[in-house]
Every structure is written in C-alpha cells, then in structure tokens.
Amino acid sequence: MKHTGSCLCGAVTFEIEGDFQSLFLCHCSRCRKDTGSAHAANLFSTTASIQWLSGEDKVKTYRLPESRHAKAFCTECGSALPKTQGGSKLLVVPAGCLNSDVPIKPLAHIFLDSKANWDSELEKVPTFDQLPE
C-alpha cells in the first residue's frame, strides 16, 4: 500500500510504501507535550519505507535525553512528521500528517495512568461540524 503525507505548510512531503501494523493513541505526558493535545495518534510499521519527496532538509528530530522519546517536525511550521525509532527499522508516523486515509483503526489507548485530567467523558461534550458561533 502507498500513503502520502505532508506538513501543514507543504514544505515537507513524503510517500510511505508498505503497511502499518498498529495505531496507538498515547496519553503519556511526553506525547501530550508533543501534540499539545490529549494524546498522540501514531502509526507503527517495521516493514514500510519512507521516501522524502520534498523538504527533507526541513525535518528536524528532537530526542529527549536519557529516553527513547523523540519527535520529528517541520522547521517551518512545526508539524509533526514521521521518524525512525533510534536506529531500528521501526517507522513511527503521526496519523494526522497523512494526506491519504489512515487504513487501520486504533488498537488501544495507552499510558492512561498519565492521561490529562480533562480527558474523560468527551463523548458527552457537544459537537459541531465547524467552529461554533
């Protein structure tokens, strides 16, 4: 399977060839800091390969010292981008940076022990198709 993706400003574009084995919604405090949201939504693959189509020189990876935690992002707009995990063949892809449909559903919410205190019963919060007036 082939997937395409980009950053928000479009400076970085990429193509991923292969399948994803999993999609996890991670609530750890590090992923919450990375995303500024309730959780990260990351796809994982040990068999897919990435080809940078444009802007590879604008991709920076921050690695949190003394941890396995890392975040790749566009230096122009800050959007989260794919990364390989520390010398392994594991490709980690933020689901939101794909332009193509995400082909799998999340397998689990993980690290719920550090979930944000406001992240509960969200299904009861009103919903709108666009910004409410």
Residue 128 lies in a domain: no
Half-sphere exposure of 2 (CA within 13 A, CB side): 4
Would 124 be classed as within a structural domain?
Answer: no
Domain assignment present for 111 = yes
Do the domain assignments include residue 129?
no
Residue 125's pLDDT is: 93
Q: Residue 36's domain spans which residues?
A: 2-116
- Is 132 part of a structural domain of the chain? no
Residue 84 lies in a domain: yes
Confidence of residue 67 (pLDDT cuts 50, 70, 90): confident
Is 60 within the bounds of a domain? Answer: yes
Is 131 part of any domain?
no
75-118: pLDDT as tens digits: 999 999 999 986 678 999 999 999 999 989 999 999 999 999 99
- Burial annotation 40-79 (CB, 10 A radius, 16+ → b, else e): bbbbbbeebebeeeebeebbeeeeeeeeebbbbbbeeeeb
| Number of folded domains that form the chain | 1
Q: Are 113 and 29 in contact (CB under 8 A)?
A: no
pTM: 0.90
The CATH number assigned to the domain holding 19 equals: 2.170.150.70
